[in-house]
Structures are given as C-alpha cells and as structure tokens.
Chains A and B, each alone.
Chain A
Amino acid sequence: MDTTRRDFLRAAGFTVVGAGTVVSALAGASSEEVSGEGGPRWAMVVDLKKCQKDAGCNRCREACHSRHNVPDLEDPRHEIKWIWKAPFEHVFPGHVGEYYDPKLKDLPTVVMCNHCDNPPCVRVCPTRATFRRADGVVVMDPHRCIGCRYCIVGCPYGSRSFNFVDPWPDRNPPNKDYPTRMRGVVEKCTLCPERIAAGEVPYCVEACEKAGIGALTFGDIADPNSAVRKLVESSGRTILRRKPELGTRPQVYYLL
C-alpha cells in the first residue's frame, strides 16, 4: 500500500491527538498529588481514647446533621449520614486480631469524609461536581451533580450518601439558615467551608469541645504551630489513617 504524504500527515495528526489525550488524562490523574503551595491545609485529628469515654455519645453527628439539614429517614437503605460512628473492625479492617480485647472490635469510631489529598471520588466524577480545593477540602457542588453516583462507587470509605427520596417533602427543615439538598444528588461531610471562611471550626468539633470531651481537633496541618500538626507530629501516640495503602492520603488522622 502506497503511503502518500497526505496519509502520513493524517496518521501523524491522529497520533498526536490520541497521545495528547492520553498524556493529559494521565497528567490530570497526578496533578492533584501536588498540594497547594502556601495556603492552609485543613485536617482533622480524632483522639480515639477521648472519644471512647462516652460510647453512646453522638454529639458530633447531632450537631452536624441538624445544622446542615441532614434528614433522618425511616428506611435505613436510604440513610444519609455525614458523620457517624462505625465499629472499629470495619473502620480499620484487618487491624483487629483474634486475641485482641473483644471490646476493640466493636468500639464505636467516628467516621466522616476523609477529604483525601488524592481523592478517587474527584477523579471519577464526570462533571466535576465534586472537586478538591487547594486548601484540601473536597467540595460537593449539588447544583452540578447529575446523580450518577460514581463518586459513591469510587469512595473507598463509604463516606457519601445519595438522596434516593426527597429529603424534606414538606420543605420544613430544622435549620432555615442553611439550604437542603434535593433528591437525586449526592452529599457528604463538607468540612463546613462556611465556618472555615468565618474563622471557626466545624460544627462537629465545636460540639465535641462544648461537651468537654475534645476528641476532635481541627486545624491547618501545614502550619507547624497548629494543634493538629503537633498532635500528628509529636504526640507520641500511634496514628492510623483509613486504608492508607490505597494512596488516597486521607486527612483524618486517628490517634489510638
């Protein structure tokens, strides 16, 4: 088969376009690993020793869910939760051995969106309805969400919930100062960007502090003098993060 100049140029053009697409897709896949220079990097530290003192405590969940109009639905299959407690053996699978203290297996452990540095949910969202800000917050834009639930599929931690039904059919949520979400979109812990913008800590942290427990600490982990940085760097306690082997670099640190 004769290759004319035109055929060659056409083939070359397609190769460049194809290679460019592949390269940009791959480059896109790694660009979020470079964290924002300067600027704060928000992180959360959970002190499990303090948290376990009151096993039935749910103040963080109540504060968050009531302020953010997270509905309490009848059907558990459609449950929406932003922050809640799950058994330790499920939060850290494989970390509980046969001869460990049996109480450790079921120890209620606070879980929420980890606001990963390398979030798989952001990578798979087809519309960029969920995206990572330079300060580390993984934002959920419910206006753009098409409800495909790929982010739920991609999250290794089960942090996200989908609105299978209308969450507030009577349009009467508890907190009229904060919008609700509509059915058909995904929602999750937002790390309270409206509170961060006002220089305050998220509602869950505030509720835990007010109750005198202080198990949740929030702050800028890039700041060498912040409380979270000191806890993570020099507290001397064992630190766990959820499923670190997946490379998501979660920003919720658990102190054992």
Chain B
Amino acid sequence: MNDKAKIIAGLVVFLALFTAPFWINIATGQDWSRPNRVVEEEIARLRQDPGLPCALKQTDEERAQGLPNIEMTNRHMALLLEWRDEVVRDGDRTIPEWWQDRNGNPIVVHGRPLKKSLSDGCLVCHTKKKPGESEDKFCDVCHTYVEMEPYCWDCHVVP
C-alpha cells in the first residue's frame, strides 16, 4: 500500500486541528486563575465600600443564609430568566426574601433601592465594563474566559 505516508500525514494534520483549541490557549498564555481572583477582588472591594449597607458586608457564614456565591455562579442565568418572566410577563415585582435587608425592605445602595432587575438590581454593585472600556470587569472576566457573551447587553445598558 503506497498510501501509508499520505494517510499518516492526514491523521497528523487532523489531530493537530482537532486539538488546536488546547495548544493555542497554552501558547498564547491564558491566565487560568484570573476569574477566581477577580471574584475575590470584587468581594473585597464591595466589603470596603462605605456606601454599602450592612447586609452586603456580611461574612461568608452570614451570607450562607441567603444565596451563596457558588450557587450564584451556577444559577445566575436561571435566576435572571425567572425574574425576567415574573417582572415583564406576570407584573410581579415583589422582591425575594434574600434580596431584602434585615427589616424586609429593599436594600438601599448609595441611595438607590435595589429592585428585582438586572440594571436596577444586580448591576448597581456588580460591575460590568461599558462599551469603549478595555479592562474586563466582574461579569466580563468569566464571560470572556468562556467566550460566551450573552445578548442581554444589547438592551440592558450598564447604569
């Protein structure tokens, strides 16, 4: 069989192309640990902000009473879709318990009461880079890392 060389060559090329995502990332020096670091930096930054009410400065144990971080990472999209359908389609703007302060009122941050909303809720604290900015902020880091940009930002502008 005289085709052996061609076949092996073809297999090598195929394997190279197939594994390309892996070795391209290694070659261009991706920082694998960046997302976790940015989340910790964000939490540290928020804790130091004098304008934030006590509820958001709680410790990890206290925060476990509400929605813990890892669950938020996994669930934030599902949560947003739930909120979206409840607010837009059902007109239900009642704030969930874990989003209220200790007295059952909306949490007030820098004078703004947090609503059941992306722009008027989550984004008041958790930063996202605005169009024209180059540095990735909180939301962007993970999303850039997984190369997945949700189209929410086409409409929901960053406050």
Contact = CB atoms under 8 A, between A and B. Distances in A.
A–B contact, 8 Å CB criterion (strictly below): yes
Interface of A: 69, 131, 133, 135, 139, 141-143, 166, 168, 170-173, 176-182, 193-194, 197
Interface stretch (B38-46, B68-76, B88-96): B88-96
Contacts of A181: 155
Interface in B135-159: 151, 153-159
A197 B155 contact: no
B93 A142 contact: no
A20 to B, nearest CB: 27
B159 A139 contact: no
A139 B90 CA distance: 10
B127 interface: no
A222 B36 CA distance: 55
Interface residues of B, number: 18
A176 B157 contact: yes
B100 interface: no
A180 B155 contact: yes
A166 B158 CA distance: 17
Contacts of B158: 176
Contacts of B131: 170-172
Contacts of A171: 130-131, 153, 157
A181 B88 CA distance: 14
Interface string B111-136: 00000001110000000001100000
Nearest to A173: B157
Contact of A177 (B84, B91, B93, B120): B120
A143 B82 CA distance: 13
B93 A180 contact: no
Nearest to A129: B89
A139 B119 contact: no
Nearest to A131: B89
B159 A182 contact: no
Most buried by A among B118, B131, B151, B158: B131
